[in-house]
Structure 1
């Protein structure tokens, strides 16, 4: 395959939470006792060392453009521990001068002094898992913070000098009305974040909500909420650039853009997933999920939960699964550069999507229409093997 190495990012998974939320299907684990936070940082660096050895020349000379601490609740880790990891990563990898470093944060797990510390440690972007500014909705979602605590946390981060802030909001919450959803958006806008992630609550398998579903708005009501909130965010100056992402000018999330453009990323930490391109194609690797097992296998082959090459038959679907989420689409040339496949392999599916009004007829761009965005799952499935 003739792949052009795409930008490279680093994803770091922090698996612990104060309490597991009933809607969450991420690899997160409620805190029991005192987790071995310092040992986990050691294990992360050992994991990174082993991946650097395993992937070898595929990473040679490629700088890191973004780092994302996800979870779980990364803000359970002190600024000193986050800084120790970042210092270690910089000793092992070249960072781009303007590398974006994001820390996911639960408003109920941070104090004012920590934001100063995170900034000093090298974090330059904070993502707050607010979800709602309605205390009843927060309670039903199992969140540990209140609406006032969420707003205070955002202000404290801004006061500390962190000027790149995302607020996560969910909509179509249990018994949520259109007015309630718009109020959440208004309160987020009033705080002046640079980015808003606004996504629909879905019932994921193997979650408490899936086992005991709460009363949710129907599809038509959810669509009305999405359209109204999208319009309000646009009026407030937040441009939608992805299905669920809105940003002030120049503040799009570099890390998530790399995912959607089918870039590469090292994934370290319990349950973390990574994607690396080399001369043989696209390789995906993921780590063992349970924190105890991950700690016990630090830097050893047992830390790897799976490792495989993406087949040529599956590459078109995997590419579209990411790229078609972008409102502006992606250059057609990127498909060949990042999959190693000719355009001809997607021509029949592309023609069908254009005929159905789902995609734009443009030889230079892969892009969905507004109708295609509404039926995005159907569009993406058209490219399955």
Structure 2
């Protein structure tokens, strides 16, 4: 079996402040630590980690790189240049590979953008979340709307032509009109890609322990979602995933590879990998040491890996759907058979038995969600857990 496309994910675990809604592996720096970030040690650890993972992906071209966090832009452009040079020396990186870095718009959270661009980072993703200063405070963000706008303008001035802006809806006391105004202000910054998603209360977050008061009810959140679809479509954005909207040919190739059940190698504290193994085409998942100090200590040894498992015929269908059902595009049964090695009939039977017929369409060749089903993808997944 020919393995799917391969991406590289690099996790940077530090941030200035942990946001109360965030359930990612991020660790707030102690007071004064920003000037003492273990930049050199962490870059070295990432390379040691990658070197040991190479036998899993030997000779396979890397199509995309995504630097997530935490806040990767806390690292200097010089550090990123060193990292990219080492990656190119170790992996056959596609010459036109999409290389994305997440950036926060706080004034002390990034180096000069032209330095990142010179290092080979050709796409940015800004965690804006809102351009309403009161909402930014309610979300625990450390930037204001002016800083967000200035950061985006600085990136454009440095030469960035492809960038994503994150925005949330369903915020405390937010009205339908306020959500509309917030999104329209975001579009004035002329992004090529927008991630527009609902504030969700995740377990083990500060918001889970103390949920904000006066969150919009489900009906109003649904109206905000539909309103966002209409506004973004009217401004030339195509929705290709539940929360992802792109201008022509500006989709996030990296995230699209996740959603299409591609392979990805993860390096860094808490990074996850999903790799199709060459000898038997089995699919392996791995997780690295989560805490930054533990990762730094064990990056050069097998102890950097805390969990390894092979997906079996019981877990593969759910793992496939977990990604594929986020996309508006249909998937073919041939692809399902090719990437999982399973006969699709059992999955077809499960849909026919468990899922309301108005939520999907299937025939002998392909499966796709209806517009109603696209909005119910989480409920559909619950039936396969």
Cα distance in 1 between the residues matched to 2:86 and 2:21:
34
Deviations 1:208-254 (A, max 9, x none): 10100002111001001111011100000000000000000100000
Any conservation in 1 of the 2:75–2:111 contact (CA below 8 Å)? Answer: no
RMSD: 1.4
TM-aligned CA deviation for residue 357 of structure 1:
1.3
Unaligned runs of 5+ in 2: none
Provide the residue aligned with 1:228 in structure 2.
227
Provide the residue aligned with 1:67 in structure 2.
65
The yes-or-no answer on 1:90 pairing with 2:88 is yes
Cα distance in 2 between the residues matched to 1:267 and 1:361:
34
Cα distance in 1 between the residues matched to 2:340 and 2:211:
39
TM-aligned CA deviation for residue 363 of structure 1:
2.8
Deviations 1:68-106 (A, max 9, x none): 000000000001111111110110000112100000000
Provide the residue aligned with 1:42 in structure 2.
44
Cα distance in 1 between the residues matched to 2:10 and 2:93:
15
Any conservation in 1 of the 2:73–2:109 contact (CA below 8 Å)? Answer: no
- Flag the 1:160–1:111 CA change in 2: closer, same or farther, 3 A: farther
Say which SS state the counterpart of residue 27 (structure 1) adopts.
coil
Provide the residue aligned with 2:380 in structure 1.
379
- Flag the 1:64–1:110 CA change in 2: closer, same or farther, 3 A: farther
TM-aligned CA deviation for residue 4 of structure 1:
3.1
Provide the residue aligned with 1:185 in structure 2.
183
Cα distance in 2 between the residues matched to 1:157 and 1:315:
40
Say which SS state the counterpart of residue 246 (structure 1) adopts.
strand
Provide the residue aligned with 1:103 in structure 2.
101
Say which SS state the counterpart of residue 213 (structure 1) adopts.
coil
Deviations 1:115-154 (A, max 9, x none): 0000000000000000000000001111111101101111
TM-aligned CA deviation for residue 280 of structure 1:
4.5
The yes-or-no answer on 1:338 pairing with 2:339 is yes
Say which SS state the counterpart of residue 135 (structure 2) adopts.
helix
Unaligned runs of 5+ in 1: none
Cα distance in 2 between the residues matched to 1:151 and 1:332:
45
Provide the residue aligned with 1:257 in structure 2.
256
Cα distance in 2 between the residues matched to 1:211 and 1:113:
34
Any conservation in 2 of the 1:358–1:371 contact (CA below 8 Å)? Answer: yes
Provide the residue aligned with 1:51 in structure 2.
53
The yes-or-no answer on 1:361 pairing with 2:359 is no
Cα distance in 2 between the residues matched to 1:52 and 1:101:
19
Cα distance in 1 between the residues matched to 2:122 and 2:294:
31
Length-normalised TM-score, structure 2: 0.95
Any conservation in 2 of the 1:76–1:109 contact (CA below 8 Å)? Answer: no
Provide the residue aligned with 2:171 in structure 1.
173
Any conservation in 1 of the 2:330–2:367 contact (CA below 8 Å)? Answer: yes
The yes-or-no answer on 1:305 pairing with 2:306 is yes
Matches within 5 A, 1:111-150: 114-150=112-148
Task: Figure out how many residues of one structure are paired with residues of the other and give that number.
Answer: 378
Deviations 1:300-353 (A, max 9, x none): 111112111011111001100100100122233211111111112312123236
Cα distance in 1 between the residues matched to 2:364 and 2:144:
49
Cα distance in 1 between the residues matched to 2:356 and 2:21:
37
Length-normalised TM-score, structure 1: 0.95
The yes-or-no answer on 1:288 pairing with 2:289 is yes
- Flag the 1:382–1:354 CA change in 2: closer, same or farther, 3 A: closer
Provide the residue aligned with 1:276 in structure 2.
275
- Flag the 1:267–1:17 CA change in 2: closer, same or farther, 3 A: same
Cα distance in 2 between the residues matched to 1:159 and 1:22:
32
Provide the residue aligned with 2:265 in structure 1.
266
Say which SS state the counterpart of residue 98 (structure 2) adopts.
strand
Say which SS state the counterpart of residue 313 (structure 1) adopts.
coil
Provide the residue aligned with 2:201 in structure 1.
203
Any conservation in 2 of the 1:112–1:157 contact (CA below 8 Å)? Answer: no
Cα distance in 1 between the residues matched to 2:180 and 2:151:
21
Cα distance in 2 between the residues matched to 1:12 and 1:360:
37
Cα distance in 1 between the residues matched to 2:100 and 2:67:
6
Any conservation in 2 of the 1:112–1:156 contact (CA below 8 Å)? Answer: no
